[in-house]
Every structure is written in C-alpha cells, then in structure tokens.
Structure 1
Amino acid sequence: MESSKLHIPLLLILQAFIFFPSTQSASNNSNLFREYIGAEFKNVKFSEVPINSGVEFHFILSFAIDYTTSNSPSPTNGKFNIFWDTDNLSPSQVSAIKSKNSNVKVALSLGGDGVGNGYAYFNPTSIQSWISNAVSSLTQIIQDYSLDGIDIDYEHFKTDPSTFAKCIGELISTLKKNKVISFASIAPYDDDQVQSHYIALWKSYGHVIDYVNFQFYAYDKGTTVSQFLKYFYTQKSNYNGGIVLASFISDGSGGLAPDKGFFTACSRLKSEGKLGGIFVWCADDSKGLGFKYEKQSQSLLAISH
C-alpha cells in the first residue's frame, strides 16, 4: 500500500503534462510587424520608418492594380501596373533597406480601394487569361523590385466568390511554385461581399496563404477593447488555422485606436498565445505622427514572443 501511494503524485504529474501542455508550447504568438506604404504619395521613405531588430518586418507597397495608368484607368484583365510612390519607393531603395536590415522583407499589395476617381474592381475577363496575365506581369514587377511576397487587398468585385478564389488561389500557388515569392497574405474586412470572396478563397487555398491582415480598423470608430477582442476571436474562427494579425489605422479614424486601448488588447492576445503579429495602415499617415505607434507595436512584439 505504501509503495503504491508513492506513484500517485508522479502519475498526476505525467497526466498534467500529457493533457495540459504549457501555454508557451501552445503559443501562436509572433514577432511579425507589417506596414503598408506608398499609397498616399506623402513622400515617405523606407529609411524614415523605425525598424526594431527584434521583429520580422514587412513593408507592403501599395498598390499594384490590373488597370491602365491613363487619366481614366480601365481594367486590364490581370496585367498589373504600379500605382505606388515610385519616386520614393524605387527598386534601389528596396535593395538599400533590405541590405541595411536583415530582418526586413518587402511585398506588394494588389487592388486596394480605388483607382483614379473610382473603385478598383476585381474584374477578370476569364479565369485562365487573368491568371496567365497576372503571373506574367507580377513576376516582372516582383523581380524588378526584388520583392519577397504579395498581399491581396481587393475590396470591390464584379465576379462571384468562386472565380475570385480560383484566380487568386492559382496566382499565389503559381508564384510560390515558381519561387517568385516566399509568402502571401490576404486583407479582408467585415463586409458581407468582401468576406464571401475571401472566405471562399481561404476554404480552397488557405494552405498557400501565410498571413491574414484583417482590417480591424474597418469596424466603427470608438471600438472598445472588449469589442475588438470579440471581433478578433470571430475572425480567428472564420480563417481557422490562419495567422491573424491585429491592426490599427494611424489616424485613428476607425476601429480600436492605438491611443484608446489597442495595445491593451494586443497584450491580452499575447498572454493568450494568439497574437499573430501587428500591421498598420499606413506609413504615409504615420510619418506626421513621428511613427510613435510603430515603435510601440514593435517593442511589444519584440519582447520574448
């Protein structure tokens, strides 16, 4: 009897390790920080943005759009052109920032909200021709700029979710297979039409998508910490298995503002092992604020993720 009692605590300890793994081993925290740059033509340069050596840092050039660059832009069925501030964000400047910072990678984002005076629509003529044109035109841009990945930020659609899923999914798959890119992300937000397209893409091609840049700042201005956390858990469920990043908009015009509890929410997610990283829209606006929230974001992420 005495000898058997000695084995009970050991058995309980073993069961605890088997059934209750440590929070650290179950953690999905990341030190990934991402920032969109170049869409608003405010002369912001890569070199102006503070970069913490303790994070993985992705600049995301905004935007490449499959529209003509004329005064009245029109769809080109997958033939992408550059619509970011190339004077300040050129191929040589991409090379310079990556050479100076080994933790920096640079991607480009596709689509965005608008082009010219109208919306930037996802508007393929046919699936196969769009994929072929997109692979060709984007490979050229990515190689010219020595880029590492792409982000999908279409927000307006003239096609059904399955066509979007097929076109974008095959584009990402082909660019990865050809070793043109090493990562890909999507940037949905909480709108029925938008979500229907991105969730269709996720269900069919989630295995080739590395990050979900969910636009939490598209929720109402004045979002509280508890509301933000609820939204985060919902989107974590929608994009099940994905690395979902928390996000804010520099000017505080939507969602949970960086000075109203955003970092409190991120600390909570980090304590739960659910902080997949942080991204910001956008460096163009943050420039006037001295990039103070970028510094705060990276400090939080760099501390033993």
Structure 2
Amino acid sequence: MDFSKQLSLALFIFQVLVFFQSSAQSASNNSNLFREYIGAEFKNVKFSDLPINSQVEFHFILSFAIDYTTSSSATPTDGNFNVFWDADNLTPAQVSAIKNQNSNVKVALSLGGDSVGDGYAYFNPTSVNSWLSNAVSSLTSIIQEYNLDGIDIDYEHFKTDPETFSECIGKLISTLKKNGVISFASIAPYDDDEVQSHYMALWRSYGHIIDYVNFQFYAYDKGTTVSEFLDYFGTQSSNYNGGKVLASFISDGSGGLAPDSGFFTACSRLKSEGNLHGIFVWCADDSKGLGFKYEKQSQSLLAISH
C-alpha cells in the first residue's frame, strides 16, 4: 500500500474513532431521571396513583415545607419549617410503602413555593446563623420522620439580598449532606430578574453541591414553540453552567411549551444531542385528572436507551 493510501486509511480510522467517542460522550450526558411535584393543591393524590416505570429513576417532590406558622395568619419563623403539603394522603407510612414497592423511587421535599396562607412565601431570615440553625434542626426532624432522600429549593419571593440567600441555602445543603441527612439537592429557579439574581448567586458559590436544576420552563409564555424552548434551554444551561438542567412542563398546559404541543419533540432533540438530563413535572395534583398520560409518555422517552 502506497503512502497516500495509508494516510487516507489512517485519516478515515481517526474520523471513525472521533465520531464514536463523540457519540459516546454525548449519550453519557443523557439521564433517565423523572421528577414530579406532589401534594401542593390538596387534590387527594397519592404516591400509588402515579404510574412508575421501573426503567427510570423516579423522584417524588413533596410540596411544600415552609418556614412559616401553620395558623391562618401564617407568619415567618426564621427557618423553623412546617409541613404544608397534603399530609393526610402523603404520610411517612406512604413514603415508606412506595419506596419499598419500587426500588427506583426516592422522595424529596421542596422548600418555599409561591404562597402561604393568603400571601407570598418569602425568604425572610433574621440572620444567616439563626436561620441556618433553625432550618437544619427542623428539616432534619421532618426528613427523618418521613424517610426522605433530598431537598429542593423553590423560594420565589425574597426579603433579603442574593448573597444572604446564597449563604443560607448553600450552608443548609452542605450541612444536611455532611450530616448524611440527604443524598441530593436541587434548585427550582425561573426566568425572572429577582429570582435569577438570587439563584445564580447561589450557583456561583455552591453550584458544586447542587445535583439538579429544576428550571421552571413552564413559567415562560403559554404557546412557547419548540425552537423557543430549545433556545431557553441553551440560555439556562449557560446560566447554570455545568449543572444538570432538567426539561419541564406544567401538566395543565397553562404556560411554556405544552406537553401536547411539542414538548416531547423538544426532549427528543435534546436527547439526540446528549443534553436530556431528565424531565420534571408540575404537578401530580393536576395530572391526576388527566390520567397521568404525560407522565407515562415522559418516562417512556427517558427509559429508551438513555
């Protein structure tokens, strides 16, 4: 074989190796993680109501634990968290049952949310140290009582600066992980200047201990197109650089890219590019009336050779 043919063959082999290496690296960024918020709307939904595909990693996220009093006046408590989800249907015994029946299921709780009582649920610490001490104590108690695996941060309204939020939440996650109370943590920002300033400050300082970014893509305008969704996904992946940004939809279709209007097309595109880190849904309470059809579709997509 002359030199030019040897060179051509070597170049061809090199290109093939690069292609397969690139494909393997791309595929390795995909995940079979499915997550769903549950219990915020008190529609009597139970863990056992949901279809659970054994081929996915399934996270229920109890919504919400809030550091407010449970009285009608609902005042801030500086990190003393209480259960505000549907505790009649989502009990410690039910958590244990669903985990015992499904080895792929983990259960987390989400902190904050949009509202409490008749007003917003504000992040409103007295100081970093006092809030942190109270939060670690109260959340450890709830997490151990309910046999939970992780926490999600979903504060959406703030009475403090981004740096204080970053220190409080970052140190909370660090402490709970160090103490072996939780094994994972996520954040749930959306595209709002105040919200993003707080979460991106947290990400800059503590992104290395945050496992998932439950970005609320359904907070974008209703009627979002596939191409717009993919642009938004790219933007937020840059904002939370290095993070596992999950695709998301709201099951009632009231915002963002609706599940019956191209969401799964967008997810398939992300998957083909190796960027589908998982899917999460808001929320099981609304999906119950739809027979959880979009949950089934989401899990089927994630389960196929992720």
Q: Relative to 1, partners in 2 of residues 1:15 and 1:263: Cα closer, same or farther, differing over 3 Å?
A: closer
Task: Report the CA distance between 1:163 and its aligned residue.
Answer: 0.3
Write the distance in 2 (CA, Å) between the matches of 1:59 and 1:80. Answer: 19
Q: How does 1:132-147 map to 2 (within 5 A)?
A: 132-147=133-148
Partner of 2:25: 25
Write the distance in 1 (CA, Å) between the matches of 2:16 and 2:132. Answer: 51
Partner of 1:37: 38
Partner of 1:54: 55
> For this pair of structures, how many residues does the alignment match?
305
Asked whether the equivalents of residues 109 and 151 of structure 2 are also in contact (C-alpha less than 8 Å), the reply is yes
Partner of 2:124: 123
**Amino acid corresponding to residue 127 of structure 1 in structure 2:** V
Partner of 1:206: 207
SS at match of 2:167: helix
Asked whether the equivalents of residues 24 and 273 of structure 1 are also in contact (C-alpha less than 8 Å), the reply is no
Partner of 2:97: 96
Q: Does 1:181 align with 2:187?
A: no
- When the two structures are superposed, what TM-score results if normalisation uses the length of structure 2? 0.97
Percentage of matched positions with identical amino acids: 81
**Amino acid corresponding to residue 278 of structure 1 in structure 2:** I
SS at match of 2:280: strand
- When the two structures are superposed, what TM-score results if normalisation uses the length of structure 1? 0.97
Asked whether the equivalents of residues 26 and 273 of structure 2 are also in contact (C-alpha less than 8 Å), the reply is no
Asked whether the equivalents of residues 114 and 120 of structure 1 are also in contact (C-alpha less than 8 Å), the reply is yes
Asked whether the equivalents of residues 32 and 276 of structure 1 are also in contact (C-alpha less than 8 Å), the reply is yes
Write the distance in 1 (CA, Å) between the matches of 2:305 and 2:277. Answer: 13
SS at match of 1:24: helix
Deviations 1:88-123 (A, max 9, x none): 000000000000000000000000000000000000
SS at match of 1:26: helix
Asked whether the equivalents of residues 69 and 75 of structure 2 are also in contact (C-alpha less than 8 Å), the reply is yes
Write the distance in 1 (CA, Å) between the matches of 2:16 and 2:184. Answer: 37
Write the distance in 1 (CA, Å) between the matches of 2:4 and 2:303. Answer: 48
SS at match of 1:109: strand
Partner of 1:114: 115
Write the distance in 2 (CA, Å) between the matches of 1:142 and 1:62. Answer: 13
Q: Does 1:292 align with 2:293?
A: yes
Partner of 2:79: 78
Asked whether the equivalents of residues 26 and 275 of structure 2 are also in contact (C-alpha less than 8 Å), the reply is no
Deviates more, 1:14-23 or 1:105-114: 14-23
**Amino acid corresponding to residue 9 of structure 1 in structure 2:** L
Q: How does 1:153-302 map to 2 (within 5 A)?
A: 153-302=154-303
**Amino acid corresponding to residue 292 of structure 2 in structure 1:** F
Deviations 1:135-185 (A, max 9, x none): 010000000000000000000000000000000000000000001000000
Structure 2, unaligned runs of 5 or more = none
Write the distance in 1 (CA, Å) between the matches of 2:46 and 2:229. Answer: 31
Task: Report the CA distance between 1:23 and its aligned residue.
Answer: 1.7
Structure 1, unaligned runs of 5 or more = none
Deviations 1:26-50 (A, max 9, x none): 3311000000000000000000000
**Amino acid corresponding to residue 213 of structure 1 in structure 2:** N
SS at match of 2:238: helix
Write the distance in 1 (CA, Å) between the matches of 2:275 and 2:67. Answer: 35
Write the distance in 2 (CA, Å) between the matches of 1:291 and 1:58. Answer: 15
Partner of 1:10: 10
CA RMSD of aligned residues (A): 1.3
Deviates more, 1:239-248 or 1:17-26: 17-26
